[in-house]
Structure 1
Amino acid sequence: MPGHFEPLPGGGAAVALDDVEISIIRSLAVQLLELIGPGPAEDAPDDPLAELFAEGPSEPPADPVLRRLFPDAYTDPEATPGPREAEEQRAHSSEFRRYTENDLRAGKRENALAVVRSLDELTVGSEGGAVLELSPAASRQWLGALNDLRLAIGSRLDIADEDDTDLLYRLPDDDPRKPMVMAYLWLGGLQETLVSTFML
């Protein structure tokens, strides 16, 4: 079980983590929460209906990581549309973003919070580690958060496709990106083994 998720009888998954791994995942999840920002409830008036019908932003985020987490819905990064088609795509993406981004942010926020809370509930043993056991619902939240963390790190590393990942494997140890690359690859392994628990 060390380093990878295994299925639990009756559903869910478990993984053994040492105290350093717990600290790294927790820190990354907290950073993701800070990046996503507080929910609309933090600034909303006392009227709960106002929050329910609040519109989100219509423009893509300026931060490249947030653009990766909340991409435009109607644009194809590999296509080169004409001016009229590009304008239509921007208008459709803007409208879609206005009505969906708040919910998407809330979902990503809940997933990251679930990761932090489950790690905070762990009792680290005398050997400096613990076994994290997740229910099926918590496993899905962890899967979403791991995906978001990898997207965020991948964006900071300018990873666009598999060829970029291959280049990262060959980085020298003194490259300042190396720790981030190692975290990216390690989270990928966790994500892959967690996905496999859903298939059994």
Structure 2
Amino acid sequence: MAGLFESAGGGSAAIALDEFEVSILRTLEVQMLELIGPGPGGQSEDPLAALFAEGPTEAPQDPALARLFPDAYGEPGEPADADTRAMSGEFRRYTEVDLRARKREDALAVVHALDGLGEDGGVLEIAGDDCRHWLGAFNDLRLTLGSRLEVTEEDEQGLYRLPDTDERKPLVMAYIWLGELQETLLEAMAG
């Protein structure tokens, strides 16, 4: 997969994607939308109800969702005392609905852009304002894949040495590619 971002000037970026790359990115983003879900109470058409919607107070049980929506207080992976759990629950209650909405917005921006490109691929130019959606979407995908692969700083290099017969290899390849996309997008925005 050779499609990486290049600067298109003014903080925008361009990337040439073949049909295979378009299919992979679109599939991953659709799966991300399914994972994130509509949030508590579904998606309301009433803007006033949405404004006052409260989120959950408990951390998600799914490790990938827990990585996407981490507790605000305490150390990751460490048991929290009752006060820390209560503070994290209150913070989550007032922020998770908006965070889920932003993550859905990021994933949808990528899906819509890819749909506009068509099945055969081509060159996609992303305006500077839309680049942040793509960065957020790539970050969320990498966090999710990293959680599913149980990636830690100590063993990340081991991912590069997995044998082709390892069932995790396709996810690892996607994880690495998304990292390259994220890095080159940042460079394109700056350049």
**TM interval, short-chain normalised:** over 0.9
* C-alpha distance in structure 1 between counterparts of 2:78 and 2:93, whole Å: 24
Give the alignment's Cα RMSD to 1 decimal. Answer: 1.8
> Structure 1 residue 160: deviation in Å?
2.4
The structure number with the bigger radius of gyration is 1
Amino acid at match of 1:72: D
Matches within 5 A, 1:89-168: 89-123=84-118, 128-161=120-153, 163-168=154-159
Runs of 4+ in structure 1 displaced over 3 angstroms?
39-44, 78-81
TM-score (norm 2): 0.93
Unaligned runs of 5+ in 2: none
Matches within 5 A, 1:33-44: 33-39=33-39, 42=42, 44=44
Aligned to 1:195: 186
**Higher relative CO (CA 8 A, sep ≥ 6), structure 1 or 2?**
2
Amino acid at match of 1:22: V
**Deviations 1:72-127 (CA, angstroms, capped at 9, x unpaired):** 0101127677xxxx222111100000000000000000000000000000145xxx
Aligned residues: 190
Counterpart secondary structure, 1:176? coil
TM-score (norm 1): 0.89
**Deviations 1:147-187 (CA, angstroms, capped at 9, x unpaired):** 000000000000122x2211111111100000000000011
Distance 1:78-1:48 versus aligned 2 partners, 3 A rule: closer
* C-alpha distance in structure 1 between counterparts of 2:4 and 2:183, whole Å: 9
Q: Percent identity?
A: 60
